[in-house]
Amino acid sequence: MEYIHFLLELLTHTKAILLQLFQEHGNLIYGILFLIIFVETGLVIMPFLPGDSLLFTAGLLCAQPSGISIFILIPILVIAAILGDNINYFVGKYFSKQVLNWKIKGKPLVNPDWINEVHHYFEKHGTKTIIIARFIPIVRTVTPFVSGVGRMNYNTFLPYDIFGGMLWVVSVTLAGYFLGNIPFVEKNLEKFILGIVFVSVLPIIIKAIQVKRKK
């Protein structure tokens, strides 16, 4: 329950929580943000961390006199995103059977629907899915795992993953950096972040509705 409560607080009060963490831990905030992005991208059983809103808000704080540096933050988070994906890829490649059999109270930790969704993206977009998935919650966490399960050539996976990781972190963080100080955005930050989350998960919602109609 504490984990769920923290996620809800991080989602709805991202700016306040990041400021509090920075005030309490100083430069360790970079390590905390690294860990959150790494876990979201690196652990297939943890796809629910709010990566997009976290990047946007962190960028916003860099534009304000918070003490957080955009020049330190972006490289650290790019490394976290790429490293997490690579861990996820190799887990999928070598330990997929064990992971897919993990269950809690009879329910699989890795939802088969997530796997099917990523397979759909690969069928539609091919290897470009590795880049596209970066901007879709849950899908971005499962994609490297499925790439490993499918034994995608690592030399094919890695360049797409590096480009996608850089594009995701840089674009979303800089969006927060440049848009965050606009009075309308700053005044309605919580609603704006929820809007980012909604737009991010919209493709999943649409796909779920389409699948339900086919049934």
Q: So what's the pLDDT on residue 77?
A: 96
* pLDDT score at 105: 67
Q: Which of these, 137, 135, 129, 131, lies nearest to 175 by C-alpha position?
A: 135
- Please tell me the predicted confidence (pLDDT) of residue 174: 94
Write out the two tokens for 6.
């923290």
Query: What are the pLDDT digits (tens) for 178-204?
Result: 987 788 877 777 777 777 767 666 666
Given a contact cutoff of 8 angstroms between Cβ atoms, the answer to whether 144 and 41 are in contact is yes
The confidence score (pLDDT) of residue 97 equals 73
pLDDT digits (tens, 9 = 90+) for 27-81: 899 998 999 899 888 887 666 677 888 898 899 888 888 788 999 999 999 999 9
Its pTM stands at: 0.80
The model's pLDDT over 109-152, given as tens digits with 9 standing for 90+, comes to 666 776 776 777 777 777 888 888 888 877 888 888 888 888 88
Read off the pLDDT band of 177 (50, 70, 90).
very high
**Residue 65 and residue 130 in contact, taking contact as beta carbons nearer than 8 Å:** no
Instruction: Find out whether 99 and 130 touch, Cβ atoms under 8 Å.
Output: no
- Of the candidates 119, 168, 118, the residue with the CA atom closest to the CA atom of residue 138: 118
Q: What is the DSSP string of 129-189?
A: HHHHGGGSTTHHHHHHHHHHHTT--HHHHHHHHHHHHHHHHHHHHHHHHHHTTSHHHHHTH
